[in-house]
Structure 1
């Protein structure tokens, strides 16, 4: 045994010597290669930093006008914003950039919708550095959301209090709500759902604004085809969504509809401010709409000021992935509120110079506001059509055939498609259906499909693909239908025309899966090694380019490398072999124990098991004389058997 331990120590000592010599050999080899490698010379670091700071001092921070033109903030608010981010430990100085430089690059990007490559050139930085710190500042700005996007005050707004035009009629109003469309870049396969009333893909952004032009709630990321009422319903249903205090309300336009907490204007009555001209108010409804519009114009001014300051939101084609585009909208709203806290500047549109939508006649406005779907039957004096089951079935079949044949464009069905369907219906049923009536009837099924998509995602709901049934348990079904009576037709019963609707709207319906409110953390992940910019070129796809894999240098199989590999392999095998000696059970162990006199076979078997569990004790036991073996066995038996 002593000989075995001595052998093990020698092997360990030899392994240690080998490791030391190997480390020395590798170090010497590295020094020799370094000496042979030609040195790459760089300009003095202090000179490069001096040039960069000269650019900031002369081109950006020289005066308030230059700073405002480049960064969309005066110098005072800009440096105070940097102090806030630094004090909150959201950003910090490092060997690459100061906090001021990081924030300046971010504001320069969103203020003028510049690509990261352009900003990198302007600030004398690499593209990678610019991208990394863009995401870092975006995340830091998002962390200020609870400080600057706050619920409105419950006090009577100063714009209303004491004003005979609004007080006491609107004394419980706490702000206005509206939506705006911000241009978006998305993948080709989902473009349909992002095309709404604009000729390009957009995201629908809903916001609540108080009468100081500050955003009190923001929900961005909904597809451009989503209706305003759908976005509002999502905002109300979120865990940290829009809250309307009891007894208070928001002013909304006719598209949101009248409901508790939201007050729209009268339909088919003059509304927008520039529609009045020199014509006086004729009745009480017109007077209400005039004053309603005078207050609700606040949200239009807020959106106008937001897009005026940050050109990345002003119908400019974005170059980032869509989740980052959503985060940018929220970050811009946070910065807008911060700017207002620092005072009014030239980007805030004065109320006296604000103009809203183009002048429309009352008939044009009534047609625009009338979003209801035309019901139907045979044509009559009213121009409406009564849609029977067979007519609906044929209409949906014709439209599905157009989708299958590829006639439908990326922006949806065109007027020529509806006219073609109307012609087919008229020839078959001997009616006078128009393309507009087909379009209006299709809106009904699009709305139904949107509700079906929401119900399929309902917690606890099961989807029966074969029978097209959304299944709920009896208790869940009763409770849900009690609160949502209109859903009875879509739960626990086969859904009519499901496959036809899936064909037409399956990839074109707004789902809001990317929507993010100002109360939610931003989706920007600082751990991702993504440059957050997309080379869209002629395509509107927002799919990020594939990441480049780092090149791995293959080591030469020279004599030193081969020698080290073989040496380490031999040392490892020897250590494993030598370490296994301690766990080896002597072959004749039971033969030696079985001849110990004075004990039963069961007691000796117990002691044998004890020695098997302890190989070192077993080897020591074999080296004892018979009398000492009796002592060891006696002690064990007495201890365990009494």
Structure 2
């Protein structure tokens, strides 16, 4: 790795690509499933694991503080999503994981908040993972502790006893078992999507057989899916009706863009 690239990665303007963000979510979902997110706090080791695996995968120098900073950004986005979902006149499509609005509501919201355009009438990327990684923090009013706030040298006997008692009380709570099952279901779904290899030929065949759209439109929808493998896998998992709805939403988003 060049010196210039090293310096760029070490700086406060560490850049996160979409594949890097996806890896962060996948790792932290697994960490939560393993019990490494007691209450609203990820353990320090989880930050280290994310930084290490991203560094190895993408040949860059990612540090735990970069993971911490990115999570803060994700929390802000989750706050906006939660606010919009609960706003009067805004709908929610749970199948597509999409905030739905009419043209008039869209125009009014984007005029007041131009950056909210990316949250409206579009599938929210990695929404299920976000509910596990930061969702619980926001709904309870608690935020995951910053990596910088975690004192790795705090190993006194009294501290260990307090942590042990907290863990015992947590696992005695009936709600924890239900939450663990929900986390497990989502984690398995994400892992399944990540491991299954995309069959491009099968994807093309399924897209092109959808009725009600011309060949050019379906071809562009196919190109869009191929460029986003996770989205393509999710498309293949849907039934025929949901696939048609997805294509219609794709057409609405890419062929109709209301003016701000």
More strand by share: 1
Q: Scaled by the length of structure 2, what TM-score is found?
A: 0.49
Give 1 or 2 for the bigger CA radius of gyration. 1
Q: Scaled by the length of structure 1, what TM-score is found?
A: 0.21
